[in-house]
Structure 1
Amino acid sequence: MDRTKKLHIAMFPWLAYGHTMPFLEVSKFIAQKGHRISFISTPKNISRLPKLPPHLSSNITFVEFSLPQVDGLPPGVESTAEVPIENVPYLKNAYDKLQGPLTEFLKNSNVNWIIHDFEPYWLPGVAAPLGINLVLFCLFNATALAFMGPPSALLGEFRKRPEEFTVVPEWIDYPCNVALKHHEIVNHIKCMNDVSDFQRMGQLIQGSQFVTTRACFEFEPDEIKLLIKLYQKPVVPVGLLPPSLPPNEEKGDDKWEATKSWLDSKGEKSVFYIALGSEVNMSEESMRQLAFGIEKSNLPFIWAVRKRPMGEGLIDNIIPPGFEERVSNRGLVLRDWAPQLRILAHSSVGGFLTHCGWSSIIEALKFGRALIVFSGASADQGLNARLLHGRKVGIEIERNEMDGSFTSDLVAKTIRQVLVEPEGEAIRANAWAMKEIFDNEELSNNYLDGFTRFIEEFVPSACHTQIS
């Protein structure tokens, strides 16, 4: 394809903020090269995105499709953050019904490429007759994708029982400790509908011209090379897409001003930050054990607590009664929203107790923060937990492999190991060293440039060649 030709590229992410934001970042980079972007999602998901820079607004068009109503999905719900995990299958049913309006849009839009997420398994059947090329953009890292395996494994008959996901698969050809715990795969199965996530991935890998992943060779060289072998087609990493801090602090942001003032009063790397994402649902007992462990650590902390979806409504208070009063002299609880990137950037923060979403990990390692690893137990989070523990940039809180239970004493012990104990020195040093990769803007732009160039220069015969 002629690199001087300006392309029309459709972006089609899954219905989750952690997916729409990276898709938008890639959109902005491609738009800077002069290509036209149609960013397709539902009205509520689009409304949550930040405003575009003025110089890009003419090249990026937001295309809104109303999410079809389906049985089991409450009216007005448009994202994973609005439903408990057991209702995510209904959201997938609704997403699959976007096939009709998307097909009509593509027939009349002269789209050259669709960069899509891991869910729309039906998309190859729509795009091929229209002569549209597909890129599967996986927001997982290469380690998680390697664990999932080649299309034959994703679409095959084996690995049907949970136990089969708890061992390192036979196709991994490098030293590896990454597998799921029993409770993690059981939990993840809850969010799949009649077409499993594995089937979706397998069909989309087969139907795409190439695959991209939020990864880089500097962090996962063996894993990316294995993916190329497993998929038998190009795998072109898009880089880590580290987010940028806002250029200057927004006036009137009272929550950040108060948080910053509190952090300014603390010693360097003395505080740990806790955030479990917007979609992690824990039992009342698990929340009790986590809270008591945080309390027993006797270290200063900031805890970002979000309302969690539960059935028809939201749980207002998931922190045990009396907790905030007991820790008021050294703990800060932020409700609903927290300026996570700014908190992690502050010099008083030394560690991050994380649910192991890949976006949160990238944000933490961008600032060299050591990780207290607590898997959210869905999707790739358990795999990320093993990866971080194995790379010695964090320590995983020990949990019962079958049911995921844990004790407050183990929480407190792990927090102290990561933040202050001598045995955590190597963890802290390794995490700090990760800034060279995770906070490298030049490296990130080089990957984005290589990805864009691959699209611009793509010819069908390249499908079976290795591009480095």
Structure 2
Amino acid sequence: MDYSSSRKQLHIAMFPWLAYGHIAPYLQVAMFLAQKNHHLYYVSTPKNISRLPQLPPTLCSNITFIPLSLPHVDGLPPGVESTSELPIHKVPYLKKSFDKLETQLTEFLERSPQIKLIIHDFAPHWLPPMANQLRINLVCFSIVNASSNAFFGYPSEILGGSRKSPEDFTVVPTWMDYPNNIAFKLHETVSHKECEDIVSDFERYATVLLNCKILTLRTCYEFEPEALRVLSKIHQKPIVPLGLLPPPLTSVDDKGDENWEALKKWLDSKQEKSVFYVALGSEVSLSQESMHELAFGIEKSGLPFIWVVRKPPLVEEQFAEDMIPPEFEERVSKQGMVLRGWAPQLRILAHSSVGGFLTHCGWSSVIESLGLGKPLILFPGGSADLGLIARLMHWKKVGFEVERNDVDGSFKSDLVAACIKRVMVDPEGEQLRANALAMKEIFGNVELSNKCLDEFTQSIENI
């Protein structure tokens, strides 16, 4: 008997935060649940929905996109609908606007009495009372891993417990009762304040955590057994990992991108594992001084590289040009390639000539890299949990972190070059390279991810 036809079809709303690193994994989970014959209502804003990839025809009947228009807020530039279009200090305006979606979402749910479950993100602190009134169950889907979640601690702790000063976040908390190094550096705790609204991210998250039936995370027991155990103890509710959601490698195979043809030709001419790839994600903006220091470090490594440089949001073209030191591109033309704008990251990482990834430590980027067995040159951005991810990867011995000043985050090009060489070629990085390759079995394992997704599906069917 077919397992999927014997179950009751659930009607589920999905409500991610307005950042691409949230929107994409939420769609992946929606597609899995749609395959299991549940009906998904994917709620976001028109522009974010339009950026999503085409659905496979077989799933179209089970996924309905619900566009809610983002209300105007003073300070939010017109037409902006996601964090990647904003410098970090303007993200609070996006949070204010997001909070105003409450009215439209309530109206939609009132018109859709068949929806009995919402899978939601950290941000909608106003969702629990509304869901309670409409008798809808809540499942919180945190796109961050278990170690970062464990670091944030008990809801009471998140809402203002023992950690009062930025310094308090630079030590491993007592409840993480296993040997680890997961804590922030001082400069990371200070810079996150910039993207906080009046309602802090902590307050948002603690509120939804206290009111959800299940907490689900983008991780698996095979990678973080210790942190998942701590989370169960902290929250006293089901903690169900839904897997690492490795990106489908079909996105590596499709041909015909002329950018890729030129890149591939260049990569084909290089020795196996000799090239390192550099990308700082869509939301990390370094100062011009830091970009120059990073550039000199990349150059001093002497190794072949591909560096993807994105124009910071809302910055004039001319200023964006100055982000790279003058004459840098001419000097390194034989050593590496500087790409501006978007790049086919998965295809680059999957190429046999690429042997490492200098990353801002976004969880999706880390998953892509380890899913292909590539070690990490850890250069975490200053916001969210990027620093915690860097410490976790360092602790798991699949990456080395670029040395920086703990207080102000400054760094020297020589240390950047040294870290690149340690990960890529030095004998002391040999074990690290082997560990990263072995991680492919967990991070790139679609069967393992699907097994977690199956267990998650069963847990929401049984609420």
Query: TM-score surpassing 0.5?
Result: yes
Match of 2:374 in 1: 369
Distance in 2 of aligned mates of 1:390 and 1:311: 36
Distance in 1 of aligned mates of 2:248 and 2:233: 33
How many residues get paired?
457
Match of 1:463 in 2: none
Q: Which amino acid aligns with 2:39?
A: R
The root-mean-square deviation of aligned C-alpha atoms, in Å, is 1.4
Q: Which amino acid aligns with 1:182?
A: L
Find the partner of 1:39 among 37, 42, 48. 42
Alignment of 1:187-206 (within 5 A): 187-206=191-210
SS at match of 2:229: helix
Distance in 2 of aligned mates of 1:247 and 1:198: 35
1:432-467, Cα deviation, whole Å (9 max, x unpaired): 110010111110100001001111122xxxxxxxxx
Q: Which amino acid aligns with 1:34?
A: N
Distance in 1 of aligned mates of 2:271 and 2:93: 47
Match of 2:165 in 1: 161
Match of 2:10 in 1: 7
Displaced runs of 4 or more, over 6 A: 311-314
Find the partner of 1:269 among 264, 269, 273. 273
Structure 1: any 5+ residue segments left out of the alignment? Answer: 459-468
| Residues 251, 346 of structure 2: 8 Å contact kept | no
Change (3 A) 1:366 1:249: closer
Distance in 2 of aligned mates of 1:315 and 1:61: 41
SS at match of 1:333: strand
Find the partner of 1:357 among 357, 362, 366. 362
| Residues 240, 444 of structure 1: 8 Å contact kept | yes
Q: Which amino acid aligns with 1:423?
A: E
How many angstroms does 1:305 deviate by? 1.1
How many angstroms does 1:207 deviate by? 0.7
Change (3 A) 1:94 1:247: closer
Match of 2:226 in 1: 222
Change (3 A) 1:266 1:452: same
Alignment of 1:63-462 (within 5 A): 63-109=66-112, 110-246=114-250, 249-310=253-314, 315-317=319-321, 318-458=323-463
Percent identity reads 63
SS at match of 2:456: helix
1:267-323, Cα deviation, whole Å (9 max, x unpaired): 000000000001101111100110000000000000111111146889532211111
| Residues 15, 44 of structure 2: 8 Å contact kept | yes
SS at match of 1:392: coil
Greater alpha carbon shift after TM alignment, 307-316 vs 93-102: 307-316
| Residues 117, 137 of structure 1: 8 Å contact kept | yes
Match of 2:20 in 1: 17
How many angstroms does 1:247 deviate by? 6.3
| Residues 291, 320 of structure 1: 8 Å contact kept | yes
Q: Which amino acid aligns with 1:233?
A: K
TM-score (norm 1): 0.96
How many angstroms does 1:68 deviate by? 0.6
Match of 2:61 in 1: 58
Distance in 1 of aligned mates of 2:252 and 2:205: 40
Change (3 A) 1:314 1:103: farther
SS at match of 2:118: strand
Structure 2: any 5+ residue segments left out of the alignment? Answer: none
Distance in 1 of aligned mates of 2:28 and 2:429: 35
Q: Which amino acid aligns with 1:238?
A: L
SS at match of 1:379: coil
Q: Which amino acid aligns with 2:451?
A: N
Match of 1:461 in 2: none
